[in-house]
Amino acid sequence: MKYDFRGAEPNRRHIGPGDIRAATPDRPLVCLTAYTAPVAAYLDPVCDLLLVGDSLGMVIYGMDGTVGVTLDMMIAHGRAVTRRARHACVVVDLPAGSYEDGPGQALESARRVMAETGADAVKLEGGIAVEASIAALVGDGIPVLGHIGLLPQHAEEGFRIQGRGEDGARQVLEDGLAVERASAFAVVIEGTVEPVARRVTEALSIPTIGIGASAACSGQILVTDDLLGLYDGHLPKFAERYADLAGTIREAAQRWTDDVRSRAFPAERNTYAERPAGKV
């Protein structure tokens, strides 16, 4: 079931996985996370891709990590984002526990996401380990965005930068080649040393989307809540704050609190007068 984009602005073309696959080096891909309908609407005009990431576990639900996010949670937020996205390609993460058992489980989960959200594609973590599952999804007509390097869903001992040493570099490259062989339309490279991310980008024919990787990647993605200064947890080195919305929220709440306690709010303009008899 494909989302109906008939409400799109005139002359504004929806970007699909094929468009992402055809990205050229002269126009880096712009990608951000979105978890709610309003934020999707704000970001949609400037983004090529909106990711409904399982990072919502931390930034929305206050979890310590992404493990614990459920498929139902991803579907609910995915549906919210597709309701307002008219331009960007919308991708929904398959959460931990929804695909690792093999192609059968991955297909069941991905079919639910696609049918119940109207997203353009799904994303799952891993390279060689999930090559067969990616191939099965693509064979079923479900576009897949890969994810290699640092895999938050599988970082049982904490987040560690990937690609260090010959073995580490070889693993990231082999994972990237596996994702490409399985016909993913692009791949996220997360938390990987810069020279390795650069070499992987040069070695693959599909676009790479970096997050803590390299400026040489075909595009970049960040968690929007980090970008806007909304997340109150650890800000990773690769993130950059372009705004301080948390400060704006605190200031607005304090001003309203002061007005309520001084009885300046509600003012007359915020209340309703009784209508004269006979008036409608």
Task: Give the annotated binding-site residues.
Answer: 54-55, 93, 123, 125
C-alpha span between 164 and 156 (Å, rounded): 18
Report how far apart, in Å, the C-alpha atoms of 205 and of each of 17, 187, 210 are: 15, 11, 15
Q: Is 194 a catalytic residue?
A: no
- Extract the annotated binding site for 3-methyl-2-oxobutanoate: 54-55, 93, 123
Tokens of 196: 């390795």
Q: Rounded to whole angstroms, how far apart are CA atoms 243 and 60?
A: 18
Query: DSSP assignment, residue 15?
Result: P
Query: Which of 190, 194, 240, 274 is flagged as catalytic?
Result: 190
Q: Enumerate the known binding-site residues for Mg(2+).
A: 54, 93, 125
Yes or no: say if 49 and 29 are a contact pair by the CB < 8 Å rule.
yes
According to the 3-state scheme, what is the secondary structure of 92-146? EECCCCCCCCCHHHHHHHHHHHHHHHCCCEEECCECHHHHHHHHHHHHCCCCEEE
**Which residues are known catalytic residues?**
190
